[in-house]
Amino acid sequence: MLSVTEARARVLGAVRTLDTIKLPIAEAIGAALAEDLHAPHALPPFDNSAMDGYAVIASDTKGATPGHPHRLRIVGEVRAGEPGDVVVGPGSAARIMTGAPVPQGADAIVPVEQTRSDDSFVEIEAAVELGRHVRPAGDDLKQGDLLVCRGTELGAGELALLASMGFSPVTVHRPPRVAIVVTGDELVAPEDAPGPGQIRDSNSVALGSLVREAGGAPLVYRAVADDLEATCQTFEAASVRADIVVSSGGVAVGKYDFVKPALERLGRIDMWKVAMQPGKPVVLGAIGEIPFLGLPGNPVSIHVSFEQFVRPAIRKMRGCRGLLRPIVKARLTDPLEKSPGRLHFVRVRLEYLDGEMFASPTGGQGSHIQSSLIGCDGLARFYAHETQLQMGDIVDVEVWRFPEVLDDPS
């Protein structure tokens, strides 16, 4: 049996980062940047005012108070968006708005609240030191500074900075098209009523959603019957349209499991047992150049196997820098038991209480217990060599999300 780490390394070795596309900056949320980007100019690009007020020579305000205001002649006005070609000399001031360029000669801003004025003169009622309320050019970033490095998933903050620097369109890796093919004679669509012995196909919905959450573009096929010809046909069609094909079910060696025979006919296949629970069997193959990953059919296994193998693969294809979930230490709220040999992934709810993270198993851990995915915030690792965990023991948890709260607890 392979360890999860070894199996994942093989999966990651079989996929490559996809080519790049250019996207308008406003549409690039979540995409991974394809290159390091450096500042083409300083930010702010010019000295500008942080306040509405008067641009002055700081030394002209020395000793000014409401009782002894200093009277300065108003030589002009600079609004945001204007070039600001007024010149401020000794004994004079220019009216200025927030974001407007500081005029030549001026070296400080007096906020309007500390002045009184008529059309021609302003009375300064407070002293300001040199540079006060001026945002100097390059205060934030100098020309040539590294802005965002390649592999960063662009969030609102990164996108806004890149927009400030004129990077639209922006070059990112394209998301993989992920074909999803579930197999099973017993499956009917979620909209349909199952007949005797049939069940609704939930894995298509699970995988489609997981792919989307991982930043891929799902192509979901109709459930395929347990039949070699039908399986081959769909796998082949999927491999033509997709960057990677992911299947569910039919990977055992039962009489009606056709994933392996289909792959043997269409391309190549590698099948492993991975020392994990749930999700022991994993199939890695290829149809032509297109990688193929076959996951077991059990609804919980799908989630766990997807997490361990498909999500990192999608993230590599997308060009993301980090491929794996963050891990936190959490205190277990219930005891757990198992036999040694396999790494168990325990679905847990996370709660942060009095400065400590707690992990509570979400219920039965059988690979068919779908309700254990409700309220699940991540997977606690019950390591292969371990057999017992006590309440209060510290476990490693792969975090899917931190739960939102109803109220601000502070």
| Residues making contact with ligand AMP (CB under 6 A) | 182, 184, 186-187, 199, 201-203, 248-252, 296-299
Residue nearest to ligand AMP as judged by C-beta position = 297
Q: How far is the CB of 365 from ligand AMP (least distance, A)?
A: 16
127 vs 182, which CB is nearer to ligand AMP? 182
308 binds, among Mg ion, ligand AMP, none (CB under 5 to 8 A by kind): none
Residue-wise burial string across 22-31, b where 16 or more C-beta atoms lie within 10 A, e elsewhere:
ebebeebeeb
138 vs 261, which CB is nearer to Mg ion? 261
Q: How far is the CB of 254 from Mg ion (least distance, A)?
A: 8
Cα angle for residues 77, 80, 82 (degrees, 5° grid):
70
The H-or-E segment that residue 262 falls in is: helix 259-266
186 vs 236, which CB is nearer to ligand AMP? 186
Cα angle for residues 327, 33, 46 (degrees, 5° grid):
115
Q: How far is the CB of 180 from ligand AMP (least distance, A)?
A: 10
202 binds, among ligand AMP, Mg ion, none (CB under 5 to 8 A by kind): ligand AMP
156 vs 253, which CB is nearer to ligand AMP? 253
Task: Sort 237 into a burial class: Cβ within 10 Å, 0-12 / 13-18 / 19+.
Answer: middle
218 vs 249, which CB is nearer to Mg ion? 249
248 binds, among Mg ion, ligand AMP, none (CB under 5 to 8 A by kind): ligand AMP
Q: How far, in Å, CA of 186 to CA of 177, rounded?
A: 27
Q: How far is the CB of 203 from ligand AMP (least distance, A)?
A: 3
Residue nearest to Mg ion as judged by C-beta position = 249
- Chain residues binding Mg ion by CB under 5 A are 184, 249-250, 297
Q: How far, in Å, CA of 168 to CA of 294, rounded?
A: 39
- Contact partners, residue 42, CB within 8 Å, separation at least 6: 137, 138, 141, 142, 143
Strand partners, 96: 53, 78
Q: How far, in Å, CA of 285 to CA of 231, rounded?
A: 15
Q: How far is the CB of 251 from ligand AMP (least distance, A)?
A: 6
Q: How far is the CB of 257 from Mg ion (least distance, A)?
A: 6
Helices and strands, counts by H and E, the chain:
7, 28
215 vs 296, which CB is nearer to ligand AMP? 296
